[in-house]
Structure 1
Amino acid sequence: MSEWKNVVEEANANKIDKWAPVLAHLTIHITYHTGQILYIRKLQGMWNPKDGVEG
């Protein structure tokens, strides 16, 4: 992710436009898995609302 971040920061607008579908997919994919991790942590009782989002 850090490498992608650096590449995107250094890219010009034409490259960003060309990569837009891939970047959108990558963002959705990572967000989905982050949600899975949070859900599992909450189910296991490993989520402290004081340290993160309540819910």
Structure 2
Amino acid sequence: MAIDLITRDENIRWLFHAGIGNVQVEALAAVLAESMTIPDVERDALQRRRHIPIE
């Protein structure tokens, strides 16, 4: 599983160990989405996944 963070200046890719569940990675993506400039539809979809606690 991976998260890509693309900015004006950099492209950052976080790769997660297979043992980390998709739920936790998606929750992290939702937290990051709060401060990103993305279309509202995409932000809403990511934030709906955030309600799962990260351990």
TM over 0.5, shorter chain = no
Higher strand share: 2
The higher relative CO (CA closer than 8 Å, separation ≥ 6) is in: 2
Find the structure with the greater CA-based Rg: 1
Higher helix share: 1
**TM-score (structure 1 length as normaliser):** 0.28
